[in-house]
Amino acid sequence: MRAKIFFSLSLFFCIFFILLFEQSFLGAMGVHFLKQFPLFLFVFLLNIFIDFKNAFIFSFLAGIMLDFFSGLVFGSFCLIFSIISCVIYWLKKYFSKNSPFSFIVIFLISFGIFKLLPYVFSCLTPYLEKFKNLF
């Protein structure tokens, strides 16, 4: 139980520091091409290596925290990361786990969806026009 709590807290702090790194540190350095990428990578690895239930919770948490930092439409990142978590779970079912090729394919597909989702949301309703600014 203790190990589980320790593991959860570690993940939580990892998310927090990645967020600070990409929002404040990289932002101050003027690096924009990696926008939201480190957190996505972290969420992707979580979803690949731990079970769906926990990965989903941490993805959700990561999304919520990014919502706090980004100051855009609240809940948008939360929704996107949750969907990404589900997508990875679904992809994992259809591709072999041990093949490096499948790892790359899952990464590419999930990253593509991650980049595509804001545009999809913005097309769905005019209110979500702000989604275009997320990435």
User: Given the complex with another protein, which of 41 and 64 has the nearer CB atom?
Assistant: 64
- Residues 64 and 16 sit within 8 Å (Cβ to Cβ): no
> Which of 10, 24, 99, 133 touches another protein by CB under 8 A?
24
d(CA 85, CA 72): 21
Separation of first and last alpha carbons in the chain = 38
57 interacts with another protein by CB under 8 A: no
Binding mask 61-100 for another protein (x = CB under 8 A): ------xx--x--xx--xx--x------------------
Residue 53 amino acid letter: K
Distance, CA of 35 to chain centre: 12
> Which of 4, 28, 32, 33 touches another protein by CB under 8 A?
28
Residues at the contact surface with another protein, assessed by CB under 8 A: 20-21, 23-30, 67-68, 71, 74-75, 78-79, 82
